[in-house]
Amino acid sequence: MLNLTMQGVEVFIKRFQNKNQESFWDNYDLIIWKNNPNAYTDKNGMFRNSWGISEKVIVNDQGVWELPKKYVKYFK
């Protein structure tokens, strides 16, 4: 896990954007969305100009978002 403060999440949001994926705020939750045409049947499916799978990262009691290791490459 990669522990991020609010400023770290803002950096991630800027670096993660491209035509097939994006990240954005939903209140204090970080939503990571990846384009997937089959997502309309998935429980994590979300429509944002097209269908995609969303992953929610919530803030913990210390005010830190625990981002999975697979997203570390966006900070290099």
Give the DSSP H/E element, type plus range, for residue 10: helix 6-16
Please list, in sequence order, all residues whose beta carbon lies within 8 angstroms of the beta carbon of residue 52, skipping any fewer than 6 positions away.
21, 33, 34, 35, 36, 39, 45, 46
Q: How far apart are CA 15 and CA 39, in angstroms?
A: 24
Domain assignments of the chain as residue spans, ordered by start = 2-60
Q: What is the DSSP letter of 19?
A: T
The C-alpha angle with vertex 28 and arms to 26 and 74, in degrees rounded to 5, equals 80
What is the tens place of the pLDDT at every residue in 26-74? Answer: 999 999 999 999 999 999 999 999 999 999 999 999 999 999 999 888 8
Predicted TM-score (pTM) of this structure: 0.89
